[in-house]
Structure 1
Amino acid sequence: MKSTGSITDEQAHTYATWFRALADPTRVRLLHLLAGAGRPMTVGELVAQVEVGQSTVSHHLKILAEVRFVLPEKQGTSTLYAVNRTCLSVFPRAVRSIMGEETPDGC
């Protein structure tokens, strides 16, 4: 695997995926709502707080789950989504590693 400085190709790909996941204002708002709630929420609860439809919210949550920014948990016929504080806390370190200020870390 090629490395430029202290960031490997794999880490660069991971970080780019994280940035893409946050490149949509609705996804940022969903993360903010989940973090502020301090508890897992259903898609329906989130839809009630944003100005987009259920399918759009579900799509955005799928993208956030793929990078582990949210953690889905099935409960009966519903899925609850919780913010993954551990993963999101690594995000600033990714920025610092891109700047060459810190050793890269993963989520």
Structure 2
Amino acid sequence: MKKTQPSITEDQARTYAAWFKALSDPTRIRLLHLLAAEARPMSVGELVERVPIGQSTVSHHLRTLADVRFVLPEKQGTSTRYAVNRTCLTVFPEAVRAILGEEDGRAR
């Protein structure tokens, strides 16, 4: 039996694992959805008004999402607004295909 080299590098595996970990919390999914639906940068205060979660919890979740670049923080004076990083999220399905060993939607 022939051994094949994994097609996912160690760096890619770490990145993909961080992405999945960031998306493993329902609150973070809800925040991403809200930011995507609004299609504009929003402050923590605006987000807190829309979800039944405290400000420190929302801030924590946004930091986690920003760490993997799913959201992009934009400083405006003393506050920060957050926007969905659509580029990063559109690449996410490619990561899933790579993990499954698929190229162009076909199994390798």
TM-score by length of 2: 0.90
Percent identity between matched residues is 73
* 1:76 equivalent in alignment to 2:81: no
Runs of 4+ in 1 over 3 A off after TM superposition: none
Counterpart residue identity of residue 62, structure 2: L
SS in 2 for 1:51: coil
Aligned to 1:95: 96
Distance 1:57 1:4, change over 3 A: farther
TM-score by length of 1: 0.91
* 1:45 equivalent in alignment to 2:55: no
Aligned equivalents of 2:31 and 2:63: distance in 1? 12
Aligned equivalents of 1:87 and 1:58: distance in 2? 20
Quick check: 1:93–1:102 contact (8 Å CA) kept in 2? no
Distance 1:54 1:4, change over 3 A: farther
Aligned-residue offset at 1:4: 4.9
Alignment of structure 1 residues 8-23 onto 2, 5 Å? 8-23=9-24
Q: Which runs of 5+ in 2 are unaligned?
A: none
Aligned-residue offset at 1:51: 1.0
C-alpha RMSD over aligned residues = 1.4
Q: Which runs of 5+ in 1 are unaligned?
A: none
Structure exhibiting the larger radius of gyration computed from Cα positions = 2
SS in 1 for 2:103: coil
Aligned length: 101
Distance 1:4 1:15, change over 3 A: farther
Aligned equivalents of 1:62 and 1:79: distance in 2? 11
Distance 1:4 1:32, change over 3 A: farther
